[in-house]
Amino acid sequence: MPVTDRLSTRFAACKAQGRAALITFVTAGDPDVAATPAILDALVAGGADIIELGMPFTDPMADGPAIELANLRSLGSGTKTSDVFALAADFRARHPQTPLILMGYANPMLARGSTWFADQCKAAGVDGVICVDIPPEEDAEIGPALRAVGVHLVRLATPTTDAARLPAVLDGASGFLYHVAVAGITGKQQAAQANIELAVAKLKAATDLPIAVGFGVRSPEQAAAIGRVADGVVVGSAIVDIVGSHGDAAAPFVQDFVASLSGAILPRTQETAA
Amino acid sequence: MTDTATLPNSLRSQPDQNGHFGAFGGRYVAETLMPLILELEKVYKAAKADPAFDAEYAELLRTYVGRPNPLYYAERLTEALRAKAEPGKGAKIYLKREELNHTGAHKINNCIGQALLARRMGKKKVIAETGAGQHGVATATVAALFGMECKIFMGAKDVERQKPNVFRMKLLGAEVIPVHSGSSTLKDSMNDALRYWVSNVHDTFYIIGTAAGPHPYPELVRDFQSIIGKEIRSQIMEAEGRLPDMLIAPVGGGSNAIGMFHPFLDDPEVAMIGVEAAGEGLDKKHAASLAGGKSGILHGNRTYLLQDEDGQITEAHSISAGLDYPGIGPEHSWLHEIGRVQYMPIKDDEALESFQTLSRLEGIIPALESAHAVAAAEQVAPTLDADKIIVVNLSGRGDKDIFTVADALGVEM
């Protein structure tokens, strides 16, 4: 891993403040490429610690309606892979310290080969990649290329990932571990807090990687509750819905909403005192 | 079922233990689905080794599906092509009558097998994707037969275009869920079936309709459909005392084709042609993934896909809804790359012509999918010597297509 690893630095800083990291997702090029930089800046201004930038795909089969529509809006307005990397590189120039993760599907990532993709990530200052449809069994498609250039491959653990399977998921995982709280698609059901706590405890027993929890997290209250047990909270569909409603003018609304999330994820000490 | 794992130098020993056919296949699914896919693989291996499973499958094929279906010598078609060919040319054409199966196509062979697997896994709910509705009807049929709850995901456009099949599925007790996402056609119904499945993995079995998707689906669908090739083998031996010179089958996802080809892959004297839907032409809108696509990852497998340079999936087009898919089963991608099977594009208008030709000459109205294979045979047979033998897979009957065909011919019904 690189000497200055933005992801581990950021997780360490949040930990030092006694709080979970807020990880926010938007789709690159939604509603169009021109509008995306202001939306990304709004995420940071609202208090997001880590940014997940979705690479649009025509067939996002792990996503619910909110993010699926975002993908189609983005592609409909003409977003290309080269635009996604340009958005990432510009973000890196404006926000040298904020970790940036690319999230998406294998086919757009690998269309020009894994080496090309990894090199582009490196050049654009992308810190990590989440590829929804590359399970550990198919790691050879993308893992070696990313590791060779020091870009994290963030793996997903789900409610169906049992103890027997977890080591396979952790083998080759880096950056953080993304716990998918519900067996399902993005933005739909919510997991019971008790189940999340149980799952995070099991994952923490198995790895030293930070644990981030996502899928179905829509409100400041939920984010706060998850923030008490996990190292990171991921919010996606709820933000994407705001972009869907406000389009080009979404940035201030996004910033307000993200501020409500970051404001709710209090340092544990402060919360106890309050 | 025969154990092909004991044939190391065979073309019939694919896939490897990770589900790869050469560079194709694999398991490209969300982590949530992986444990279930791995369990399915275990259950399928155990079922394959269990003579009772095979016996029950064979008995249902015999008494419920109506197998074996005939291998029919299409004499009038053969003679009509010989009349236009050079003297001494014009191969003998046989039709494998899959259209005579219960529900009117090869789809039921696979659905019976997967329903038996679902029952072995204790799943009482099944889901499926469907384009024209043939696989949906076959799935709804086996769900009724096994007393299982059934949901069919179907593109909203297809629901509108295929009202008779929608009604059939409902009659059979299935719930038909119109899919409005994306282009509202087959690939989108597969996306939504996967979305539903990932949210209901604990009690739901996904009956995939073609020899594609994550391992072990391409393998098990092929094995269930291999009954087609096995029957042809014994039927042609009985009729002609030798193996055929050529097999021809239509390829969308390619389950009927792989089922026909697989038992013959190690017989080098048997040539094979998979017929892709060339739609309006390879330079226009089509569904020929091998002729016009490149390797990529979609719906759980690596295979040839219609896509742009960024890896975005492009829309497929064929007059035949069953071939209207931007991908192809991974074993076909492999057979294409190693050159064992030749793949040939046939356009909408050529298929339409053969749809009518076969109806008039043989009294058999073929499915538009199958009409693509008939069209290929019409082109190839006159170039072969008259003592050569071609078997065409008549994968389905054409009743479902009469509205589409009437529309294309400008006939008001």
Q: Position B161: which residue type?
A: R
Q: Return the percentage of chain B with pLDDT > 70, whole number.
A: 98
Of A185-194, B149-158, B237-246, B291-300, minimum mean pLDDT range: A185-194
Looking at the predicted structure, is the pLDDT value of residue B5 above 90?
A: no
Cβ-based contacts of A162 with chain B (< 8 Å): 35
Which chain B residues are Cβ-neighbours of A157 within 8 angstroms?
A: 31
Q: Decide if A1 is inside a domain.
A: no
CATH number of the domain enclosing A228: 3.20.20.70
Nearest to A234 by CA among A174, A186, A167: A186
Q: Judge whether A17 lies within some domain.
A: yes
Delimit the domains of chain B by residue range: 19-63+107-222, 66-104+225-408
Which pLDDT score is estimated for B8?
62
Whether A178 is in a domain gets the answer: yes
Largest CA distance in chain A: 53
- Using the predicted structure, report yes or no on whether residue B64 has a pLDDT greater than 80: yes
Q: Could you confirm whether A231 is annotated as catalytic?
A: no
C-alpha distance from residue B244 to each of B108, B225, B248, B258 (Å): 25, 19, 11, 16
Residue B38 CB contacts under 8 Å (≥ 6 apart), including other chains = none
Question: How many angstroms from the chain centroid is the CA of residue B76?
Answer: 27
H-helix or E-strand spanning residue A122: helix A114-124
What does the pLDDT look like over A135-193, one tens digit per residue?
999 999 999 999 999 999 999 999 999 999 999 999 999 999 999 999 888 887 888 89
Mean pLDDT calculated for residue range A93-97 = 98
Instruction: From chain A, pick out residues whose CB is under 8 angstroms from the CB of B36.
Output: 160
Q: Judge whether A74 lies within some domain.
A: yes
Q: Decide: A210 and A13 in contact? Cβ < 8 Å.
A: no
pLDDT digits (tens, 9 = 90+) for B334-389: 999 999 999 999 999 999 999 999 999 999 999 999 999 999 999 999 999 999 99
pLDDT at A101 over 60: yes
Set A30, A49, A52, A83: catalytic member: A52
Q: Which of residues 190-249 of A touch B (CB under 8 A)?
A: none
Structural domain includes residue A207: yes
Is there a contact between A21 and A99 (Cβ–Cβ < 8 Å)?
no
Domain count, chain A: 1
Q: Nearest residue on chain B to A109, judged by CA atoms?
A: B311
Over residues B162-175, the mean pLDDT reads 94
**Interface pTM (ipTM) of the complex?**
0.95
- At the topology level, CATH places domain B66-104+225-408 in Rossmann fold (3.40.50)
Over residues B269-321, the pLDDT tens digits come to: 999 999 999 999 999 999 999 999 999 999 999 999 999 999 999 999 999 98
Helix (H) / strand (E) containing A157: strand A155-157
Task: Please state, in angstroms and as integers, the Cα–Cα distance from residue B59 to each residue in B53, B97, B146, B256, following that order.
Answer: 10, 19, 14, 20
- Round to whole Å and give the CA distance between B50 and B25: 26
Give the mean pLDDT of B393-411.
94
Whether residue A23 is contained in a domain is answered as yes
Option in B182, B199, B202 nearest A59 (CB): B182
Strand order in the sheet with B389-393: B71-73, B92-96, B389-393, B246-250, B271-279, B342-347
> Is A5 known to be catalytic?
no
- d(Cα B20, Cα B28) in Å, to the nearest integer? 11
At B163, the pLDDT band (50, 70, 90 cuts) reads confident
Amino acid at A177: L
- CA–CA distance, B289 with B348 (Å, rounded to integer): 15
**A221 class by beta-carbon count within 10 Å (0-12 exposed, 13-18 middle, 19+ buried):** exposed
CB contact under 8 A, B313 and A80: no
Type of residue at B293: G
B370/B352 Cα distance (integer angstroms): 11
| Among A69, A107, A109, A162, the residue to mutate for chain B (most B Cβ within 10 A) | A107
Q: Look up tokens 């398991």; give the residue.
A: B27
B89 CB burial (10 A radius; 0-12, 13-18, 19+): middle
Work out the pLDDT band at B1, boundaries 50, 70, 90: very low
Contact between chains at B35 and A75 (C-beta distance less than 8 A):
no
CATH domain B19-63+107-222 topology:
Rossmann fold (3.40.50)
Q: Is A158 contained in some domain?
A: yes
* Domain assignment present for A123: yes
Q: Does B155 touch chain A (CB under 8 A)?
A: no
Please report the pLDDT score of residue A274 as a whole number: 41
Q: Which of A263, A44, A237, A59 is nearest to B296 (CA)?
A: A59
Half-sphere exposure of B172 (CA within 13 A, CB side): 27
Q: Is residue A263 less than 8 Å (CB to CB) from chain B?
A: no
Q: Which one, of A119, A102, A150, lies nearest residue A5 by Cα?
A: A150
Q: What are phi and psi of B331, to 5 degrees?
A: -70, -30
Rounded CA gap, A137 and B96, in Å? 39
pLDDT tens for B76-127 read 999 999 999 999 999 999 999 999 999 999 999 999 999 999 999 999 999 9
Determine, for residues A133 and B29 on separate chains, whether the beta-carbon distance falls below 8 Å.
yes
Catalytic option among B41, B92, B99, B107 = B107
pLDDT single digits (tens) A26-38: 999 999 999 999 9
Residues 123-152 of A with CB under 8 A from B: 132-135, 137-138, 141
Q: Interhelix angle for A251-264 vs A36-45, to 10°? A: 20
B310 has a chain A CB within 8 A of its CB? yes
The answer, for B17 touching chain A at a CB cutoff of 8 Å, is: no
Strand partners, A102: A53, A129
Which two structure tokens, joined as six digits, stand for A126? 């992308």
Q: How far apart are CA A2 and CA A161, in angstroms?
A: 29
What residues make up the domain containing A33? Answer: 6-273
Residue A36 tokens read as 């995306």
Does A103 score more than 90 pLDDT? yes
Q: Give me the residues paired with residue B24 across strands.
A: B21
Mean of the per-residue pLDDT values of chain A:
94
